Amino acid sequence: MTVNIIETLGASESGGTAAVTITTSLVSTDRVVVACVKSTTSGTVVVSGFSATWTNNAFHTLSGADVNILSASGMTGTGTVTVNGLNTGGDMVVYVLRSSVGNAVVYSVGSGNGTASTAASTVVTTSSNSALAGSMLFMAGTVTAGNITMPATGASPSSGWTQDRLTASRRKVMHVSTSSNVSLVGAVTSDATWPGAVVVAAYYDNDVPTPPAAGFTGWGVPIF
């Protein structure tokens, strides 16, 4: 069982707000994930759309380098997702996630980390979490000086990530699908002295094996 990305949409802020229209007809088991990367300190990220309750799954709040990954489920049909509280240079990426077997896609684990000031080429990582095979993993990060490198040394998975958005060489959003259980770690760095942050989040399709029904299952070797 796997989680698939059905639709990916991105937008830059305009007057503190960015919005995208989801054209996929959502079913109630889908999950919509929103990654928000800010560039300044003003504004608090608030996601709205589909009359849903949006939950902040993974975030790190840092002066000039806020990063959030939020999600919601139970929506149906098509509609618009709006993010308020972004700022000049801020970005959002919206994903529609769907299970390959029709199960509900759920949030699994996430974490974030950042630094107010660190030397060039210093790597900042998140804590390590276990992500299940078939999960969809997301990483979002920002640095306010220099050029971002993400994933950086120490990230897990260390390869296979797809870049979904890069803005001004400093704000980045990526994803990867897991074929086996992994330790999920985000890692970011810059080639200049920088403050910055990185967050990671994992989602899976909530597949719970059903035990065999009780009753006669066939002849076996007698034990008496």
pLDDT of residue 31: 98
pLDDT at 88: 78
Q: What is the pLDDT of residue 130?
A: 96
Residue 167, CA distances (Å) to 27, 33, 38, 118 in order: 31, 19, 11, 21
Rounded to an integer, what distance in angstroms lies between the CA atom of residue 152 and that of residue 190?
A: 9
Residue 142 has a pLDDT of: 94
Q: What stretches in the chain show pLDDT beneath 70?
A: 207-224
The confidence score (pLDDT) of residue 219 equals: 52
pTM comes to: 0.91
* pLDDT attached to residue 215: 47
> 135-151: per-residue pLDDT in tens?
999 999 999 999 999 99
Count Cβ atoms below 10 Å from residue 16 Cβ, excluding itself. Answer: 14
pLDDT of residue 10: 96
